[in-house]
Structure 1
């Protein structure tokens, strides 16, 4: 794994850091520099914006509410939020569809992060969740409710507001109370209005903007779709608890792992459940999520029972804006590093990891700059 991280750094990423667990054994390491302006070395315990991995935490919270009989997966969202999601959309789109990205509601990040100028402006702007939902609802529909998968951050903003409606508490507080605090994830938190990453952390580099560090950034644009800060170690702890049945009853965990194809034409390339996806690897399906924000990318994949785990973070984003038709060298090195963590004994097959693992990953393409 050390060699794989070094190769990922050599491919052009300033830093890569990870934790791998195999049963009771744990390995952590880092390669490269945490930020380009100071060249301070990367460490495996650095905090990081984990983007859409937030969705797994939020979905687990909703499924706890389902288990308690407080909300139903097949409830129309308009039953809970009639003024926010009115009319036919509110009547036909269900909680399940929001969680598995089959609602057909447009992805608001395609409207607020579609130009280089917005890389800076979005990080200096405060958005309310309601504003984000309205942006998403104003976009063209991507399909009929329940028809097919189409990744939409808007759905998870609606889910955050649903949590608040059902519980009477702030969504971030409810996720913290139900998931983060019981697992003692001391380095995992919602930053809220704080633009900084508290404590030791990695920088955030948008490839076309050189050494500029975007680690200080207003994340209200992501909220319950992608605001969370965490570490590779905390992510491994969370997914082991989730997949091992510590957070959800068996019925709700089974619902979470009931997936729809992310590419209907290629169903064997992976499926998305409720805040959780699976991808094919040389040693079988791996479950987890990924996340991409401005300047930081995270991948967290795990064996179905959470026994073998890999969480990996890098501090560079948007290095491939469609100008290279084949797999980008960083993507190839990232896939190789992921395979080294998830399938350490699949050495002969690891060279083909770029074609084995779906690239780019779902959460990374949720930040749509081209």
Structure 2
């Protein structure tokens, strides 16, 4: 039931339905500076970022995955128990672990959230499903935030949303 999630067809540049505009450095024309990158050919990115979705659909995906409606219990256990320490490397904060397709990232209020972020020129996404019934969140930026202070700000927004008192 991910009604606003789709793979763009070859040649499809416009986004279906209302979406935010994305701004960043065009990979083929970095000398042009920051520009609107909303209509990059997403189909060219394939599984590394070509899927178009909305925060609502991404939250529904995380709820279905961890709610047992997407995969059998044994598969989710495998994804979350057979993990490798990755904290402090690449985009992962200290204490992070990577399993099969998802990472656990520690929360400032205790516990972790399981998720998978992503970045393309012009946008970054972070989020997932927290342990201890804290909920699900997707945080999206309309600019690339895959390093430094921008990445910490994105990760902080996920943490703040999942650690907020109801």
Number of matched pairs:
154
Q: Contact 1:271–1:279 at 8 Å: present in 2 too?
A: yes
Structure-2 change in CA distance of 1:319 and 1:189 (3 Å): closer
Larger Rg: 1
Which residues of 2 match residues 1-370 of structure 1 at below 5 A? 184-193=1-10, 194-206=12-24, 209-210=33-34, 212-257=35-80, 258-263=82-87, 269-282=95-108, 283-304=110-131, 308-317=135-144, 327-328=148-149, 330-345=150-165
Structure-2 change in CA distance of 1:332 and 1:274 (3 Å): closer
Structure-2 change in CA distance of 1:338 and 1:190 (3 Å): same
Which runs of no fewer than 5 residues in structure 1 stay unpaired? 1-183, 321-326, 346-370
Structure-2 change in CA distance of 1:304 and 1:318 (3 Å): closer
Structure-2 change in CA distance of 1:306 and 1:248 (3 Å): farther
Q: Contact 1:259–1:272 at 8 Å: present in 2 too?
A: yes
Deviations 1:73-94 (CA, angstroms, capped at 9, x unpaired)? xxxxxxxxxxxxxxxxxxxxxx
Following the alignment from structure 1 to structure 2, what is the Cα–Cα distance between the partners of residues 197 and 233? 16
RMSD between aligned residues: 2.6
User: Whose relative contact order is higher, 1 or 2, with alpha carbons under 8 Å and at least 6 apart?
Assistant: 1
Which runs of no fewer than 5 residues in structure 2 stay unpaired? none
TM-score by structure 1 length? 0.38
Partner of 2:78, secondary structure, is helix
Structure-2 change in CA distance of 1:318 and 1:303 (3 Å): closer
Q: Contact 1:191–1:228 at 8 Å: present in 2 too?
A: yes
Deviations 1:112-135 (CA, angstroms, capped at 9, x unpaired)? xxxxxxxxxxxxxxxxxxxxxxxx
Structure-2 change in CA distance of 1:306 and 1:228 (3 Å): farther
Q: CA deviation at 1:239?
A: 0.4
Which runs of 4 or more aligned residues in structure 1 lie more than 6 Å from their structure 2 counterparts after TM superposition? 264-267
Q: Contact 2:84–2:97 at 8 Å: present in 1 too?
A: yes
TM-score by structure 2 length? 0.80
Following the alignment from structure 1 to structure 2, what is the Cα–Cα distance between the partners of residues 289 and 269? 15
Following the alignment from structure 2 to structure 1, what is the Cα–Cα distance between the partners of residues 36 and 52? 16
Q: CA deviation at 1:313?
A: 0.7
Partner of 2:36, secondary structure, is coil
